[in-house]
């Protein structure tokens, strides 16, 4: 395959991270021509293009070399790192970006009096993050059942398919609406710039260096 001479950055097509990610790239001096299919956006000034995809696909696209960098939640990046297997190219978090903040937390029904992870022994926990939850349980030395669900995790306790959940929390409003209470935090998350653990040393590597420098300027100004 012919090496690409333009840098390709993956970001969320439509969701919480879309607007702030685009704004950040704009502030780094990158602007894009809106393409009709909105999967691919051609960069106007610098040789940097965008790929607009589901956030869950971003780490895999970087690992496969389809994209050079991605803007994605630490929760999604870490889950990929824990579940991708050893044959996938290792990824790294190159910068934290200061938006999309949330926590991956345990949430329990109001009547479950949670104090210590040890209490979870033998319980069933519903989550979309089996890698992160499994890793945390192992570090706590707790054996619990992990029920993997793609969505609507917060209704699992009411349906009786799990005793508690492990899900993303921002304000806690969704939990309250489902009679759940945040009980423990597994991961503090925010949007990050993800890339390969080893950056390329060709012209694309030079472009990545330039982008990282500009990002540092922009992030510093904002802090």
Tell me which stretch binds ligand ATP (CB under 6 A): 15-23, 43-51, 117-125, 196-204.
15-23
Residue 57 dihedral angles phi and psi, to the nearest 5°: -85, -15
Q: Which letter does DSSP use for residue 16 in this model? A: T
Out of 9, 11, 12, 132, the only residue in the binding site for ligand ATP (CB under 6 A) is 12
| Beta carbon of residue 60, minimum distance to ligand ATP (angstroms, whole number) | 13
Cα–Cα distance for residue pair 66/102, rounded to 1 Å: 28
Structure tokens at 93: 């978090």
Per rule CB under 6 A, count of chain residues that contact ligand ATP: 15
Q: Does residue 196 contact residue 90 with C-beta atoms inside 8 Å?
A: yes
Q: Report the residue number, 32 or 80, with the smaller CB distance to Zn ion.
A: 80
The residue length of the chain stands at 223
Binding to ligand ATP by CB under 6 A, coded x per residue (else -) over 84-103, reads ----------------x-x-
Distance CA 19, CA 202 (A): 30
Which residues would be at the binding site for ligand ATP (CB under 6 A)?
12, 15-17, 54-56, 73, 75-76, 100, 102, 168, 170, 189
Which residues would be at the binding site for Zn ion (CB under 5 A)?
55-56
């Amino acid at each position: 395959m012919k090496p690409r001479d333009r840098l390709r950055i993956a970001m969320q097509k439509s969701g919480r991270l879309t607007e702030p990610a685009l704004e950040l790239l704009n502030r780094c001096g990158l602007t894009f021509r809106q393409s009709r299919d909105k999967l691919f956006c051609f960069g106007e000034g610098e040789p940097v293009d965008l790929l607009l995809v589901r956030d869950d696909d971003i780490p895999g696209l970087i690992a496969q070399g389809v994209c050079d960098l991605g803007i994605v939640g630490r929760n999604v990046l870490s889950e990929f790192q824990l579940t991708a297997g050893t044959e996938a190219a290792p990824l790294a978090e190159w910068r934290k970006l200061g938006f999309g903040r949330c926590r991956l937390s345990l949430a329990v029904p109001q009547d479950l009096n949670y104090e210590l992870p040890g209490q979870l022994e033998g319980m069933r926990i519903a989550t979309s993050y089996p890698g992160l939850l499994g890793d945390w349980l192992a570090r706590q030395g707790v054996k619990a059942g992990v029920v993997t669900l793609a969505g609507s995790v917060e209704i699992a306790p009411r349906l009786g398919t799990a005793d508690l959940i492990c899900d993303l929390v921002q304000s806690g409003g969704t939990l309250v609406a489902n009679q759940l209470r945040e009980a423990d935090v597994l991961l503090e998350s925010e949007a990050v710039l993800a890339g390969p653990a080893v950056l390329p040393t060709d012209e694309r590597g030079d472009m990545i260096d330039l982008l990282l420098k500009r990002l540092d300027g922009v992030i510093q100004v904002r802090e």
